[in-house]
Structure 1
Amino acid sequence: MPSALPLGDPAPADGLLPAGAADGAAGRPFSVYVHIPFCTVRCGYCDFNTYTAQELGHGSSRESYADAVARELRFGAGALLASGVPARPAGTVFFGGGTPTLLPSADLARVLDTVRSAWGLAAGAEVTTEANPDSVTPDSLAELARAGFTRVSFGMQSAVPHVLRTLDRTHRPERVGQAVGWARDAGLDVSVDLIYGTPGESLADWRASLEAALSYDPDHVSAYALIIEEGTKLAARIRRGEVPDIDDDDHADKYLMADELLGAAGYEWYEVSNWSRGESSRCRHNLAYWQGADWWGAGPGAHSHVGGLRWWNVKHPAAYQQRIDAGVSPAAGRESPDDDARYLERTMLLTRIREGFGIAGLRDEGRRAVAGLIADGLVDGTAAVRGRVVPTLQGRLMADAVVRRLLDF
Structure 2
Amino acid sequence: MPSTLPLGDPAPADGELPSSVVAGADDRNFGVYLHVPFCRVRCGYCDFNTYTGDELRGARRDDYASQAIEEVALGGRVLSGVGLPSRLASTVFFGGGTPTMLPHSDLTSMLHAVRDTWGLAPGAEVTTEANPDSVDAEYLLALADAGFTRVSFGMQSAVPSVLATLERTHDPARIPLVVEWARAAGLDVSLDLIYGTPGETLDDWERSLDAALAQEPDHLSAYALIVEEGTKLARQIRRGEVATPDDDVAADMYELADDRLAAAGYDWYEVSNWSRGVDHRSRHNLAYWQGHDWWGVGPGAHSHVGGVRWWNVKHPAAYQQRMVAGESPGAGRETLDDETRRVERVLLGVRIREGLPTSELDDDGRRAVAGLIADGWVEGRPALQGRVVLTREGRLMADAVVRRLLPS
Which one-letter code corresponds to 2:404 in the other structure?
Answer: R
Question: C-alpha distance in 2, partners of 1:135/1:283?
Answer: 22
Counterpart for residue 84 of structure 1: 83
The corresponding residue for 1:195 is 194
SS in 1 for 2:22: coil
Aligned partner of 2:265 in structure 1 is 266
Note the C-alpha offset of 1:372.
Answer: 1.0
CA contact (8 A) 1:26 1:86 kept: no
TM-aligned CA deviation for residue 147 of structure 1: 0.1
- What whole-Å deviation, never above 9, does each CA across 1:97-132 have from its counterpart, x for those lacking one? 000000000110000000000000000000000000
Q: CA deviation at 1:345?
A: 1.2
Residue correspondence of structure 1 range 33-72 to structure 2 within 5 A: 33-58=33-58, 60-72=59-71
Counterpart code for 1:250: V
The offset of 1:26, in angstroms, is: 2.5
CA contact (8 A) 1:90 1:119 kept: yes
Question: In the alignment, which residue of structure 1 is the partner of 2:126?
Answer: 127
- Asked if the contact 1:91/1:125 (under 8 Å) is kept, the reply is yes
Post-superposition offset of 1:246? 1.1
Q: Which residue of 2 aligns with 1:329?
A: 328
C-alpha contact 1:194 1:222 (8 A) present in aligned 2:
yes
Alpha-carbon distance between aligned partners in 1 of 2:78 and 2:173, rounded to the nearest angstrom? 46
C-alpha displacement of 1:3: 1.1
Show the 5 A alignment for 1:248-287.
248-287=247-286
1:339 positional shift = 2.6
What do residues 192-230 of structure 1 show as CA deviations (whole Å, max 9, x unaligned)?
000000000000000000000000110000000000011
Matched, 1:97 2:96: yes
Quote the Cα distance in structure 2 between the aligned partners of 1:108 and 1:218. 23
- Which amino acid counterpart does residue 320 of structure 1 have in structure 2? Y
| Partner secondary structure for residue 16 of structure 1 | coil
Q: Aligned-pair distance for 1:330?
A: 0.4
1:224 aligns with 2:223: yes
Corresponding residue number in structure 2 for 1:342: 341
Aligned to 1:368: 367
Query: Counterpart in 2 of 1:16?
Result: 16
CA distance in 2, matches of 1:307, 1:247: 40
Q: Using the alignment, how far apart are the partners of 1:325 and 1:343 within structure 2?
A: 38
Letter aligned with residue 27 of structure 2: G
Residue 389 of structure 1 and its aligned partner are, at CA, apart by 0.4
Contact 1:25 1:86 in 2 (8 A): no
Q: How far did 1:86 drift? A: 4.1
For 1:389, the equivalent position in structure 2 comes to 388
Runs of 4+ in 1 over 3 A off after TM superposition: none
Report the equivalent of 1:182.
181
The total of aligned residue pairs comes to 408
Q: CA RMSD in A?
A: 0.8
Q: TM-score, normalised by structure 2?
A: 0.99
Which residue does the alignment assign to 2:317?
Answer: 318
Q: CA contact under 8 A between 1:266 and 1:277: conserved in structure 2?
A: yes
The SS at the match of 2:243 is coil
User: Is contact 2:5-2:300 (8 Å) kept?
Assistant: yes
User: Residues 17 and 83 of structure 1 are in contact (CA less than 8 Å); yes or no, is this contact kept in structure 2?
Assistant: yes
Matched letter for residue 154 of structure 1:
F
C-alpha distance after superposition, 1:240-266 (max 9, x if no partner): 111100121111111001001111100
Partner Cα distance (1:64, 1:8) in 2: 29
Between 143-152 and 344-353, the greater mean CA deviation after superposition: 344-353
How far off is 1:27 after superposition? 2.5
C-alpha distance in 1 between matches for 2:209 and 2:401: 27
Give the Cα–Cα distance (whole angstroms) in 2 for the partners of residues 343 and 349 of structure 1.
10
SS in 2 for 1:194: strand
Q: Tell me how far apart the structure 1 counterparts of residues 347 and 211 of structure 2 sit (CA, whole Å).
A: 32
Q: 1:392 is aligned with what amino acid?
A: T
What does residue 377 of structure 1 align with? 376
Q: Which one is further off, 355-364 or 102-111?
A: 355-364
Q: Deviations along 1:120-175, whole A, 9 cap, x unmatched?
A: 00000000000000000000000000000000000000000000000000000011
Code of the aligned partner of 1:65: Y
Answer yes or no: is the 8 Å Cα contact 2:76–2:85 preserved in 1: no
Q: Which amino acid aligns with 2:387?
A: R
Structure 1 range deviating more: 104-113 or 339-348: 339-348
Kindly indicate whether the alpha-carbon contact (under 8 Å) linking 1:26 and 1:88 is maintained by their aligned counterparts in 2.
no
Q: Is the 8 A contact 1:128 1:151 kept in 2?
A: yes
Partner of 1:247: 246
Distance (Å, rounded) in 2 between the aligned partners of 1:243 and 1:332: 36
CA distance in 1: counterparts of 2:393 and 2:119, whole angstroms: 42
Taking the aligned partners of 2:393 and 2:56, their CA distance within structure 1 comes to: 44
Q: Tell me the TM-score normalised to structure 1 length.
A: 0.99
**Cα displacement (A) at 1:294:** 0.5
Tell me the residue number matched to 1:2.
2
Letter in 1 for 2:183: R
User: C-alpha displacement at 1:383, in angstroms?
Assistant: 1.1
Name the counterpart of 1:294.
Answer: 293
User: Shift of residue 341 of structure 1?
Assistant: 2.0
Give the SS at the match of 1:107.
Answer: helix
Q: Which moved more, 1:221-230 or 1:340-349?
A: 340-349
The equivalent residue for 1:117 is 116
Q: CA deviation at 1:271?
A: 0.1
For residues 308 and 359 of structure 2, what CA distance do their matches in structure 1 show?
25
Unpaired runs of 5+ residues, structure 1, are none
Alignment check: 8 A CA contact 1:359 1:388 kept: yes
Secondary structure at the counterpart of residue 173 of structure 2: helix
Aligned counterparts of 1:124 and 1:377: Cα–Cα separation in 2: 39
The superposition leaves residues 380-405 of structure 1 with CA deviations (integer Å, 9 ceiling, x where unpaired) of 11111221100000100100111111
Gap runs ≥5 in structure 2: none
2:309 aligned with 1:306, yes or no? no
C-alpha distance in 2 between matches for 1:236 and 1:337? 36
Distance (whole Å) between structure 2 residues aligned to residue 231 and residue 368 of structure 1: 39
Which deviations, in whole Å up to 9, do the C-alpha atoms of 1:314-359 show, x marking residues without a partner?
0000000000001110000000122332222111100000011111
Q: Is the 2:94–2:128 contact (alpha carbons within 8 Å) kept by the matching residues of 1? A: yes
Q: 2:322 is paired with a residue of what secondary structure? A: helix
219-228 vs 82-91, greater mean Cα deviation: 82-91
